[in-house]
Structure 1
């Protein structure tokens, strides 16, 4: 069985309350509670991506990326890091030199 857990939580903020969305199923619950009048194409893409991940047709990370896109466009993304590795102090190197 494929894991539906996100590699890193997506933090969203609604009504001054922060929520950590930790899995595809939690993202789908959040999306299903979204006001019908505010649903659009990015919302629909996020819902389809979550359902595809549950069906095993997409990875949890792909569904997470769709959910992050929705949250960012909807204005509810609480943090500016859009990937699970954001915030990690990593430096790329070329020929052994740090950039």
Structure 2
């Protein structure tokens, strides 16, 4: 398995009437984040972008990037209804994730 591939794909529904998309890797998450409208880029977006970029350059764990991207999608209302959200890690927040 590629080190930048997510263990569980992130299922998103950017447009309610369109099919669900699956994001399988850090690279796909970065591609998605780079198309996000500038006027909607807030702290959760920045945390997700930083974590995914950090994973791409091998300074952040892929799981932490996945969690940050999941948080961004959840806060932005993008998560598909059937996406299961795992419990948080014990011992605090994942790196790169700020609420």
Q: TM-score range by the shorter chain?
A: 0.7 to 0.9
- Indicate if the aligned counterparts of 2:11 and 2:83 stay in contact, CA closer than 8 A: no
Q: Deviations over 1:28-75 (max 9, x none)?
A: 001111111111000000000001001111111110000000000000
Higher strand share: 1
CA separation in 1, counterparts of 2:25 and 2:83? 19
Which runs of no fewer than 5 residues in structure 2 stay unpaired? Answer: 87-99
Selected match of 1:74 from 73, 76, 79: 76
Which runs of no fewer than 5 residues in structure 1 stay unpaired? Answer: 84-99
1:35 matched to which residue of 2? 37
Distance 1:67 1:14, change over 3 A: same
Deviation at 1:80, TM superposition (A): 4.1
Query: TM-score, normalised to structure 1's length?
Result: 0.78
| CA RMSD between the two structures | 1.2
Aligned residues: 82
2:68 is paired with a residue whose SS is: helix
CA separation in 2, counterparts of 1:25 and 1:77? 18
CA separation in 2, counterparts of 1:55 and 1:20? 23
Moved beyond 4 Å, runs of 4+: none
Q: Which has the larger radius of gyration?
A: 1
Query: TM-score, normalised to structure 2's length?
Result: 0.78
